[in-house]
């Protein structure tokens, strides 16, 4: 049997709900024929009240929540700043170029940081260059289709569903200016946002931002490749398709540039590219803008 602590009062103490023995007092009043079930109910209710009391004790522990005040400190903030020169776990961002896309002088990086990417990629260190590039592009496509295509659309012309419903239309990623932009520039836009576009840093981890930049490069190539740059097999198919197309239709891609010459504000090839083929098809076919003369 448990022995009671000598200093602890043995008799029940008064509670907030009334005199000690409240449960007993209630039950004696209910002592009538059929009062048994009522008594159980009353005990049950009393137990419930007591249980919620316990729960509140757990809730109201002496602790500070984020942004709470505490007058003990000069700035009245309960949360204390980091001690100088400490870094929270996972926040050591020594390689600023990798995390921001910008070099020492804030200029966008020209090359993909493949070494850092491999270190952060699952199996990255044992992959061949081809495997690594492929993994990067596939991851980039996944992220781009999820987070960017709602506005930029899956090809990057800037006509995603959110734009169709009224959001500001982003520039086409196939504009000359963005074709010439360096990979680090895209990483930086994703990290910091740009104008009306918010930062996607919370959604996309740094290594995936580089993957998205790589995929944007692939998209850009898909809309602006030269026949000579295609693999021989693909090039042959294309030439056949072009030959078949030009025998039934007289107008080719080159009619566009001169035909739309009057549009000064928008580059004519940008317009023809977004309107000529359904987006997905033009991405797959890899060109609406082939230089047939070259070989």
Select from 30, 35, 120, 167 the one that contacts ligand HEC (CB under 6 A): 167
164 with 73: CB under 8 angstroms? no
Interaction between residue 161 and ligand HEC (CB under 6 A): no
Interaction between residue 184 and ligand HEC (CB under 6 A): no
Nearest-approach distance from CB 170 to ligand HEC, in angstroms? 3
Task: Give the number of residues in contact with ligand HEC, rule: CB under 6 A.
Answer: 21
Residue with smaller CB distance to ligand HEC, 9 or 195: 195
Residue nearest to ligand HEC (CB): 195
Using DSSP's 3-state secondary structure scheme, residue 108 falls into strand
**Residues ≥6 apart with Cβ < 8 Å to 145:** 154
Give the C-alpha separation, 260 to 274, whole Å.
14
245 with 255: CB under 8 angstroms? no
Select from 162, 227, 230, 279 the one that contacts ligand HEC (CB under 6 A): 162
Select from 33, 195, 232, 261 the one that contacts ligand HEC (CB under 6 A): 195
Q: Which of 179, 188, 138, 129 is nearest to 156 (CA)?
A: 179
Residue 227 sits at the vertex; the CA angle it makes with 223 and 232, to the nearest 5 degrees, is 120
Give the C-alpha separation, 111 to 217, whole Å.
12
Using the contact rule CB under 6 A, the part of the chain among 62-70, 76-84, 184-192, 223-231 near ligand HEC is 184-192
Give the C-alpha separation, 290 to 272, whole Å.
13
Residue with smaller CB distance to ligand HEC, 162 or 234: 162
Using the contact rule CB under 6 A, the part of the chain among 76-84, 112-120, 163-171, 237-245 near ligand HEC is 163-171
Residue with smaller CB distance to ligand HEC, 190 or 287: 190
Burial label, 66 (beta-carbon count in 10 A; 0-12, 13-18, 19+): exposed
SS3 content of the chain, % helix, strand, coil (to 5): 50, 5, 45
Nearest-approach distance from CB 277 to ligand HEC, in angstroms? 22
Chain center to CA of 213: 14
Q: Which of 156, 216, 162 is nearest to 185 (CA)?
A: 216
Using the contact rule CB under 6 A, the part of the chain among 36-44, 185-193, 225-233, 277-285 near ligand HEC is 185-193
Residues numbered 109 to 148 that lie near ligand HEC (CB under 6 A) are 147-148
Interaction between residue 201 and ligand HEC (CB under 6 A): no
- x/- letters, 202..231, toward ligand HEC (CB under 6 A): --x-------x-------------------
Residue with smaller CB distance to ligand HEC, 46 or 197: 197
Nearest-approach distance from CB 204 to ligand HEC, in angstroms? 6
Tokens of 232: 């021989």
**Residues ≥6 apart with Cβ < 8 Å to 66:** 79
Nearest-approach distance from CB 190 to ligand HEC, in angstroms? 5
Nearest-approach distance from CB 279 to ligand HEC, in angstroms? 16
Q: Which of 114, 117, 90, 189 is nearest to 147 (CA)?
A: 189
**Residues making contact with ligand HEC (CB under 6 A):** 147-148, 150-152, 162, 167-168, 170-171, 178, 186, 189-190, 194-197, 200, 204, 212
């Amino acid at each position: 049997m448990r022995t009671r602590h000598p200093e602890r009062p043995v008799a029940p103490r008064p509670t907030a709900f009334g005199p000690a023995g409240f449960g007993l007092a209630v039950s004696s009043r209910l002592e009538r024929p059929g009062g048994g079930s009522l008594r159980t109910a009353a005990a049950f209710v009393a137990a419930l009240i007591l249980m919620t009391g316990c729960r509140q004790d757990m809730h109201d522990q002496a602790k500070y929540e984020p942004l709470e005040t505490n007058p003990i400190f000069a700035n009245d903030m309960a949360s204390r700043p980091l001690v100088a020169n400490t870094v929270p776990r996972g926040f050591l961002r020594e390689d600023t170029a990798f995390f921001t896309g910008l070099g020492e002088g804030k200029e966008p990086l020209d090359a993909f940081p493949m070494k850092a990417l491999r270190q952060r990629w699952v199996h990255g260190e044992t992959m061949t260059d081809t495997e690594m590039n492929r993994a990067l592009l596939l991851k980039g496509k996944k992220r781009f289709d999820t987070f960017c295509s709602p506005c930029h659309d899956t090809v990057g012309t800037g006509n995603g569903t959110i734009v169709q419903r009224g959001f500001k239309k982003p520039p086409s990623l196939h504009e000359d200016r963005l074709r010439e932009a360096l990979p680090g520039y895209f990483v930086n836009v994703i990290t910091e946002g740009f104008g009306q576009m918010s930062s996607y840093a919370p959604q996309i981890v740094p290594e995936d931002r580089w993957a998205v930049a790589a995929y944007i490069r692939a998209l850009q190539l898909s809309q602006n490749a030269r026949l000579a740059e295609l693999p021989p097999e693909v090039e042959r198919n294309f030439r056949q398709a072009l030959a078949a197309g030009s025998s039934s239709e007289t107008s080719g891609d080159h009619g566009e540039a001169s035909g739309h010459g009057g549009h000064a504000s928008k580059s004519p090839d940008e317009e023809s590219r977004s309107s000529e083929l359904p987006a997905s098809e033009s991405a797959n076919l890899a060109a609406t803008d082939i230089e047939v003369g070259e070989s």
